[in-house]
Structure 1
Amino acid sequence: MITATDMELRAGSRILVSGANLRVQPGDRIGLVGRNGAGKTTSLRVLAGEGQPYGGAITRKGELGYLPQDPREGDLSVIAKDRVLSARGLDQLLRDMEKAQSKMAELVDPDELEVAVTKYGKLEERFAALGGYAAESEAARICSNLGLPDRVLEQQLKTLSGGQRRRVELARILFAASEAGIGAKSSTILLIDEPTNHLDADSITWLRGFLKSHDGGLVVISHDVELLDDVVNKVWFLDAIRGEVDIYNLGWKKYLEARATDEKRRRRERANAEKKAGALMTQAAKMGAKATKAVAAQNMAKRAQKLLDGLDEVRQSDKVAKISFPAPASCGKTPLMAEGLSKSYGSLEIFTGVDLAIDKGSRVVVLGFNGAGKTTLLRLLGGSEKMDAGKIVPGHGLKIGYFAQEHETLDHNASVWENIRHMAPDEQEQRLRSLLGTFLFTGEQLDQPAGTLSGGEKTRLALAGLVSSAANVLLLDEPTNNLDPASREQVLDALRRYEGAVVLVTHDPGAVEALEPERVILLPDGTEDHWSEDYLELVQLA
């Protein structure tokens, strides 16, 4: 169980949440919702114990499983399968059992052998208590359902894409919460931030079923309305205007109805109070002109102000970043070419001999199953990673804008302002400030470290950098991840109107339809084809 008492959260001096009293108990499946930047990710991180509240207290009892938005750093030399099994300590137990077996095979002395056999027996008992070989099978099943085949599970984490590493982390916490081999209902509380990112349609469907049947407690942040509708039985709405968490002990559809009713009530109450306050102020002004009634006038004015101060702010429509790419810098007929690109991680070959030519204003989608090298290809083209063989051939006037899936183009230790200044060093300061304003970064937020931004805010900052660049070739890797529906539509609309060339990697069919691609590059072979609607199904599967 998790209990938060009078919790206050801040981003710099900006109050995100104030006076929140929250509880997560077994059986709770809670959707944590609110606009981008309201503090959802910060709230989840603090509830998980990976951050401290500015005020209040948080207590935790039992096991927790936490999935952050960004892949965790750590020992990337670990095998993916071992990372998943480590959730129950099975990876180390298996290694210890293998060592014990090898030692028993070498021993001749009966006394030493007896000691070794006893030690092995204790290890085996512990292994069985944690689910044993059935648990290994359960881990494999979870991984398979999340699109992690055996060949990926045998690789080191450093050879995997950011999306694959995140799925390994998701598999790990689901395995920890799984009942298989334990013989009792799970008591693990899951705290998961955007779990459907990087998942294909089948994996999302399976995940919804897993979370719906989980009885240990759940708090989930997601822009997947179908998941929220199918899974949650409670909703926490983080109101960015009031800095408060409204608790609804309702499923998703009933929550939407109740929240709409609450907003109407607040507007009605405020309108009535403003009307009464206005009448009081008018009367006070009339009475204030007479010295004998000055005290009464002051009291009326105080009553009017008290009426207004006691009201919640009326919720305005959430602001949406106004995204519009400027006219791209002039360039030649084919601004970007690549010849014979090859990339491997150790003995693992990602792709080899890939050729491509990106013509001025062309629209290209890169497709391939998870692990085929889509993100790797964009990193090579964007210059953030070195190829093993081949070369990039820049055309006349090439100006690349690269949007990285994991936001690695941002300096997480630098502020919002320092990041945009670095992206556009020659731009006028006032124009950059205006640009950040259109992307909803104003005031104290400009001094906020980029690493403390939510996933949606990082996406907006990275997109602001692209807009400031006047690039003529955009390399976009999952640009709609972590965005609320309104912001996503803004991105898609900007994509439709952009006049430069685009190379797009996405699981979002809507992004592909907005792009209206002409060509498709299929990895790992690097085959090029004309776009057809037949490829649209592969977008979600890839």
Structure 2
Amino acid sequence: MLIALQDITFEFGARTIIEDSSWHIIPGDRVGLIGLNGTGKSTLLRIINGDYTISKGSINKIRNLSLGFFNQDLLSFETENSVISVGMTAFEQALKVEKELEELTAKLEHSQDDALLHEYADKLHEFDTLDGYNIRHKTATVLEGLGFSTADLERPYNQFSGGWRMRVLLAKLILQQPDVLMLDEPTNHLDLPSIEWLEKYLSNYNGAVIIVSHDRYFLDKMVNKVVELYQQQLHHYAGNYSDYEEEKVMRRDLQQRAYENQQDYIRQQERFIERFKAKASKAAQAQSIAKRLDKLERVEQVDGGPAKIRMNFSVDKMPGKILCTLNGVGKAFGQLEILKNASAEINRGDKIALIGANGKGKSTLLRVIAGTEPYTGERVPGHNVVTSFYAQHQLESLHLENEILEELKGCGSGLTEMELRGLLGCFLFQGDDVFKKIRILSGGEKARVALAKVIVGKANFLMLDEPTNHLDINSVEMLIDALGKYEGSLVLVSHDRYFVSKTANKIWEIVDGEIKEFKGTYGEWEEWKKRQALAALPAKPEKEKKSPSVAQPQPAKPASTPKTAIDKDLQKELQKQQRQFQQLEQQIAGLKDKLKQLEADMAEPEIYANKDKFRATEDAYKKTNADLAKLNSDYETIFEKVMELEEKMQG
């Protein structure tokens, strides 16, 4: 066990965040920490990190436990150093030894003292043990996995936006490889390729990982346990987020049935007491039953859960069939060409998701469609189109001196104050929160107000740039429900795959400056991409091998012709390559079997509970994977030779 939280209670001022709750974190845990916004998920991570002191209970950690905590507060870090040098600070000891080696080298230029030579040799050995020669390569690999180009690595850290800085700090944290890695909304700062890279990386991570995220796809792929912080209690579930949802429904049903059964029992006993309490022969029995009821541990009635307030979009005008047409549109920032002769058409009823890596021009294309970004080419707006645009950079359009409720009243939606307050509740503004001034809100709160304004407007065409970034899972579900009923059209940019899969009926991807359209849902697009990737690969080895094995020898030719000698040489070479081909097949099959066994070993409790055994097994797994990749590469090379030789034999 790495960390044990035992019956802890924590109050924040007069408010109780968590009460008499326990949680044990063990090696190999992949935990999704969930709960409504404001319940205290981030606070609980800070309690584990040691930032806050509990008022009751105990927190026990193994000796020398290392913790890594990824959160918004990291943005206060500033430096002019390069991105890669910031990432490399993860290897603090290796960098220290490297500096000591430089100092010793300078001394040895003037002195060949034996003591200095011994110290130098010891430091060299320590640097090698710390894998110091590879730290730059490791850092570059992680940073590039998180979306940085090779050229970006040498740029100063402080030249990047907040989102990109968070990626650098996430890379540093990953490279430190703490025993427990705590990630608070890590996908908010990543595009889809980077999220997929992070998923692959974390799936092989040695330590325990705790994730707070509103990204359901990410949670489903990453976690094997869910801990829900609800009504000041920690509720534990096995499996991923989808498993949690199913089990929670079952638990609620069981609790409700137990509550109803107990209420029936209580009513029966109370009737008996009321009937016989004054009868001498039954009074003692009635009194006994009354005492038993007083001591009875009551089953709580199932609460209604989070409020299911419905968001509804209103559409005033019906637009024409075509909302916007782009013809030969171009857009460049200096030498960087974003769009090049791009053409597309948005039709009434389209719900389009713009997806892809950051830097491909998704937000730029949104602004071009909205007519707020200069461009070359032609943009033809449709008839009767009323547009509403939600984007982070448009928060300056909010009136800072207005109260939140006042800001929404000014949209001309015609909704009553009660209806507006209900909508604001969906965006996590409860009670007197609606009277807060816009100027005192955080960036995330302003973003939620701006999104609420989009909803109360009566636009028939919505453009949404990362609308889920500051919403919890419950609010995202409400937004999905509202967009599903929305009668207008929309174009959205989002890295939340669940949100995209539930809202879009078309997918747009910017490829080489052009807009590539796929008519279908995100799930269908993913399947299509997989089929495209498979089709681009060489034919499967099983089929490839058949050709050389059934190849017929060419008819014999007169010994006097030069062709006969060539054929014999080719045939010998072909047979040699075929033998190597078969040997590689056997070796690959053996390594695959070994990988399966190692995977099974890593799942054994006695292995993952023992850090040394788990690390040794994991190292063996990584080495076997690398060996398999090498053999597969050799396999493809030899197969190409076999095919080439066979063609020569036949021609």
Sort the TM-score into its range (normalised by shorter chain): 0.5 to 0.7
Q: Which residue of 1 aligns with 2:150?
A: 150
The 2-side partners of 1:372 and 1:99 are apart by 42
Amino acid of the structure 1 residue aligned with 2:25: V
Match of residue 85 from structure 2: 82
CA distance in 2, matches of 1:192, 1:110: 50
Is residue 271 of structure 2 the alignment partner of residue 271 of structure 1? no
Q: Is the 8 A contact 2:142 2:171 kept in 1?
A: yes
What is the rounded CA distance, in whole Å, between the counterparts of 1:149 and 1:23 in structure 2? 40
Q: Does 2:201 match 1:200?
A: no
**Residue of structure 1 in register with 2:25 after alignment:** 24
Q: How does 1:483-498 map to 2 (within 5 A)?
A: 487-498=475-486
Return the letter of the residue paired with 2:503: A
Q: Could you tell me how far apart the structure 1 residues matched to 2:308 and 2:222 are?
A: 27
1:479 CA displacement? 2.9
Q: 1:97 to 1:502 in 2, by over 3 A?
A: farther
Please give the residue correspondences for 1:510-529 in structure 2 after superposition, counting only pairs within 5 Å: 511=500, 514-517=503-506, 520=508, 522=510, 525=513, 527-528=514-515
**Partner Cα distance (1:452, 1:126) in 2:** 51
Match of 2:70 in 1: 67
Give the Cα separation in 1 of the matches to 2:427 and 2:319: 27
Contact 1:459 1:483 in 2 (8 A): no
Q: Give TM-score scaled by structure 2 length.
A: 0.58
Tell me what 1:314 maps to.
302
1:107-126 alignment to 2 at 5 Å? 110=110
Matching residue within 487, 493, 501 for 1:505: 493
CA contact (8 A) 2:460 2:488 kept: yes
Please, which moves more after superposition, 46-55 or 427-436?
A: 46-55
Deviation at 1:135, TM superposition (A): 2.4
Contact 1:424-1:468 within 8 A present in 2 as well? no
Is the 2:395–2:447 Cα contact (8 Å) retained in structure 1? Answer: no
Give, in whole Å, the separation in 2 of the partners of 1:321 and 1:37. Answer: 18
Aligned to 2:390, which of 394, 402, 409?
402
Q: Does 1:139 align with 2:139?
A: yes
Aligned to 1:184: none
Give the drift of 1:129: 5.5
Alignment of 1:300-449 (within 5 A): 307=296, 310-316=298-304, 318-327=306-315, 343=333, 349=336, 351=338, 365-375=353-363, 400-404=388-392, 409=395, 418-419=403-404, 421-422=406-407, 424-425=409-410, 429-439=417-427, 441-443=429-431
State the match for 1:168 in structure 2.
168
Paired-residue identity, %: 28
Residues 276-312 of structure 1: per-residue CA shift (max 9 Å, x gap): 333455566668999xx999999988976765x7333
Q: 1:283 to 1:255 in 2, by over 3 A?
A: same
Between the two proteins, the alignment pairs up a number of residues equal to: 507
The TM-score with structure 1 as length reference comes to 0.67
Cα distance per residue 1:32-53 (max 9 Å; x no partner): 2345554334322442345666
- The 8 Å contact of residues 401 and 474 in structure 1, kept in 2 or not, is answered as yes
1:44 equivalent in alignment to 2:45: yes
2:311–2:423 Cα contact (<8 Å) kept: no
How far off its partner does 1:313 sit? 3.8
Q: 1:283 to 1:190 in 2, by over 3 A?
A: same
CA contact (8 A) 2:353 2:493 kept: yes
Q: What are the ranges of 5 or more consecutive residues in structure 2 without an aligned counterpart?
A: 531-651
Distance in 2, matches of 1:426 and 1:155, equals: 44
Letter in 1 for 2:18: V
Higher relative contact order (CA 8 A, sep 6+): 1
Q: Which residue of 2 aligns with 1:244?
A: 233
Q: Distance in 1 between matches of 2:52 and 2:6?
A: 15
Contact 1:365-1:512 at 8 Å conserved across structures: no
Cα distance, 1:145 vs. partner?
A: 3.9
Supply the distance in 1 between the matched residues of 2:374 and 2:50 (Cα, whole angstroms).
Answer: 41
Corresponding residue of 1:181: none
**Cα distance, 1:140 vs structure 2:** 2.7
Task: State the Cα distance separating 1:79 from its structure 2 match.
Answer: 3.2
Deviation at residue 244 of structure 1 after TM alignment? 0.8
Shift of 1:176: 0.9
Residue 533 of structure 1 and its aligned partner are, at CA, apart by: 5.2
State how far apart, in whole Å, the 2-side matches of 1:55 and 1:447 are.
Answer: 35
Whole-angstrom distance in 2 between the partners of 1:408 and 1:349: 24
**Amino acid corresponding to residue 32 of structure 1 in structure 2:** L
Match of 2:182 among 191, 209, 220: 191
Instruction: Give secondary structure in 2 for the equivalent of 1:87.
Output: coil
Measure, in 1, the Cα distance between the counterparts of 2:47 and 2:364.
33
* 1:269 counterpart letter in structure 2: A
The separation in 2 between residues aligned to 1:137 and 1:504, in whole angstroms, is 37
Q: CA RMSD in A?
A: 5.9
Deviation string 1:133-180 (CA, Å, 9 cap, x unpaired) is 222222233334444442343444555566544443332222110xxx
**Structure (1 or 2) with the larger CA radius of gyration:** 2
1:85 Cα deviation after fit: 1.6
| Other structure's SS at 2:452 match | helix
SS at match of 1:17: strand
Q: Deviations over 1:397-423 (max 9, x none)?
A: 96643143xx99499xx99x9445445
Are the structure 2 counterparts of residues 123 and 453 from structure 1 closer, same or farther at C-alpha, using a change threshold of 3 Å?
Answer: farther
Q: CA deviation at 1:132?
A: 0.9
Matched, 1:216 2:207: yes
Structure having the higher helix fraction is 2
One-letter amino acid of the counterpart of residue 143, structure 1: L
- 1:530 and 1:88 mapped to 2: Cα distance? 44
**Matched-pair contact (CA < 8 Å) for 2:324–2:347:** yes
Partners of 1:297 and 1:453 in 2: CA distance: 60
Q: Closer, same or farther in 2 for the Cα pair 1:42/1:327, shift >3 Å? A: farther
Amino acid at match of 1:221: V
- Shift in alpha-carbon separation, 1:320–1:42, aligned structure 2, 3 A: farther
Alignment of 1:94-113 (within 5 A): 110=110
Residues 277 and 305, structure 1, Cα contact 8 Å, conserved in 2: no
Displacement after TM superposition at 1:275 (Å) = 1.8
2-side partners of 1:486 and 1:378: how far apart?
Answer: 27
Secondary structure of 2:252 counterpart: helix
Amino acid at match of 1:200: L
